[in-house]
A and B are shown apart, each in its own frame.
Chain A
Amino acid sequence: MVLRKGDFHQPRGGGFGELKLDAISRRFGGLFALDGLSLTIKHGEFIALLGPSGCGKSTALNCLAGLLPLTSGSIWLDDRRIDTMRPEERGFGMIFQNYALFPHMNVRKNVGFGLAMRRMPKDEIRRRVDDAIGLVQLEAHAEKLPGQLSGGQQQRVAIARAIVIEPPVVLMDEPLSNLDAKLRLEMRSEIKRIHHELGRATVYVTHDQEEALSLADRVVVMKDGVAQQIGSPEALYNRPANLDVALFMGYRNVLEGRVDRVDGERVSFQCGALALTGAPQGRIDPGAATAVIRPDEIEIGDGPNRVEGRAETVEYCGRDYLVDFVTDAGARLHARSTERINPGERVCWHVPAERVLVYSVG
């Protein structure tokens, strides 16, 4: 099925109900780059695929775009099966990590390329291209070649080019990873703003958890080709499903030990000479276990799970201090403190039991 002129006149937002990924897998060489990913994306939803390099997130995106074939599984747009379609037939907009702007075409022609491929009438193309260029605020640069634009500007052209064809889904492959920190934050807001204005379903690949949490309606954390957890940013942040997700979400303090006693919603966790009460994540029996704690949830002063220790290194972070301290029991923990602490000082910390997440091991 090749898209024709009539296909453009779709209602705003793309007019589809859901995009369903049904246990999609891709094998190459002997490995599963993607192993049985199932996900249903609703119209207008912003989904982030999050994970370290090699986790399969880019593979999943490329399979969605049609640039890679599936080894098994299927992809459905409402009741139409699309994984057997070629990329030029699917009509998804895609933004590549290096923008992939056509170097021999100016901004206008780049943005209008998808419309030209659909053989739209010239004035219609011009109108839509002007709208899209206006949306990304690049009117002043419309006649320039990509080589004459900065990284951020090229990024915007890539966005305009993908959305002007009014695709049902927009695919973004780590679009901000090549920008410097300040530009990244600006472009992040831009992407959020454009998503609000246009309301198109978006699948966004990133390795940066901050980006994923701030942009997405739902996040899919991936590792080794498998989805580890699919949920809202809050769910991932506060209740990571397993140890891998927790580590990725910034639970920097990792204590390997054992669970002695299970008491309903609480467990007694022992790591060397350190004893803590924690909240079990999933089913836990007494035995080997790992506890994770966020640095910003360790507070100074007295309280449950009181730990005494000596501060070793203190890093000033503007808003607060990042403190590495060693407990009397010998464990090394990272914490954040709003008060200034000097290296070598003895401090006493505590952490609420429900913020000590305990996972069983093995």
Chain B
Amino acid sequence: MNTATAALARTDIERRSWREIAWTSLVTALMAFFLINVAGVIASVAVSSFATRWLGTWLPAGFTTRWYASAWDEFQLGDVLTVTLRVVFIVVAISILIGVPAAYALARREFPGKRGAMLLFLLPLMVPPITYGIPLATVLYRLRLGGTESGVILANLVPAVPFVILVMTPFIEQIDVRLEQAARVFGAGTFRVFVHILVPLLAPGILAAGLLVLVRTIALFELTFLTAGPDSQTLVVALYYSVFAAGVRATQSVDAMAVTYMVTTLVWLLIAMRFVNPTQLVTRVKEAPRN
């Protein structure tokens, strides 16, 4: 490729007019302001969770870890975490089992109704969860799945399956179809093509898609909120309820729970970032397949 273009990425003609400097400073300042405030929000929650008492001063009077223990008991965090991880992993597993084959069919075949299918998979990602969550919750309750863990899993699968399809389809398209054809020419049947060619090539994509679904599902509030019962809440829903009733409980223990939630999501985000570009949480979904 043109080395000059790559070089341009690193440097620019050195002379800058004062107007450009002012503009750059403004944009940088705004971005820094945003990031600092976000950091402040996170930090204030974390600090509060370790505070003995915190009223009217910059920093709390003293520090303690007892809120974590009390939050653990009060909110039954052990159970909630178990439920959350169980729900999330099942959602990841099922969405991959359904989504990857569908993505393969979309990537490799032209067939009548293909555009309709692609639109169908796009819809649950474009319509916000609460809009379809209410009718979905109604149906689940009618089926007596409302308030159960299975209901929560089904609800969370609705955006997860299309997300896997949308992440995997361009990934599969990039794998040269001639590799599979070559394998067949050399005598491999469908099953062996699958095991020896496809699975190894798909593995990184599946891992990426799985991690992204995981991170998204842990943070997804509305669907679980509408379909969960008292013992099928995920961490984010339990957090919501505890903030909602915060007048009754000490804010520090709520904050301890919030920190637990933060750590859980960020740990998985960090793991995901090793394997996948984190911006795919957002933008992969919106890239139209290039054809």
Which residues of chain A have a CB within 8 Å of any CB of chain B? 28, 33, 54, 58-59, 61-62, 66-69, 84, 86-87, 97, 173
Contact = CB atoms under 8 A, between A and B. Distances in A.
A58 B7 CA distance: 11
Contacts of A84: 15
Contact of A54 (B3, B10, B11, B12): B3
Nearest to A174: B2
B13 A87 contact: yes
Contact of B14 (A28, A33, A61, A69): A69
**A-B interface, 6 closest residue pairs, ranked by CB to CB distance from nearest:** A62-B4, A86-B13, A58-B4, A69-B13, A28-B7, A69-B14
19 contacts: A28-B7, A28-B11, A33-B7, A54-B3, A58-B3, A59-B3, A59-B4, A59-B7, A62-B7, A66-B13, A67-B8, A68-B4, A68-B7, A68-B11, A69-B11, A69-B13, A69-B14, A86-B13, A86-B15
Nearest to B16: A86
A358 B10 CA distance: 44
Interface residues of B, number: 11
Nearest to B10: A28
A218 B15 CA distance: 33
Nearest to B14: A69
Interface in B1-48: 2-4, 7-8, 10-15
Contacts of A28: 7, 10-11
Contacts of A62: 4, 7
Contact of A67 (B4, B10, B14, B15): B4
B13 A97 contact: no
A190 to B, nearest CB: 23
A66 B13 CA distance: 7
A75 to B, nearest CB: 13
A330 B158 CA distance: 74
Interface of B: 2-4, 7-8, 10-15
A31 B22 CA distance: 33
Contacts of B8: 67-68
A58 B6 CA distance: 12
Given A67-B4, A69-B11, A87-B13, 8 more contacts: A28-B11, A33-B3, A33-B7, A66-B13, A69-B12, A69-B13, A84-B15, A173-B2
A54 B11 CA distance: 19
B1 to A, nearest CB: 10
A28 B6 CA distance: 11
A58 B3 CA distance: 8
Contacts of B4: 58-59, 61-62, 67-68
Contacts of A87: 13
Contacts of A173: 2
A242 B187 CA distance: 54
Contacts of B12: 69
B49 to A, nearest CB: 46
A205 to B, nearest CB: 10
A173 B7 CA distance: 16
A69 B8 CA distance: 9
Looking at B4, B7, B10, B12, the one whose CB has the most chain A CB atoms below 10 A away is B4
A53 B15 CA distance: 30
Contacts of A58: 2-4
Nearest to A58: B4
A68 to B, nearest CB: 6
Contacts of B13: 66, 69, 86-87
Contacts of B15: 84, 86
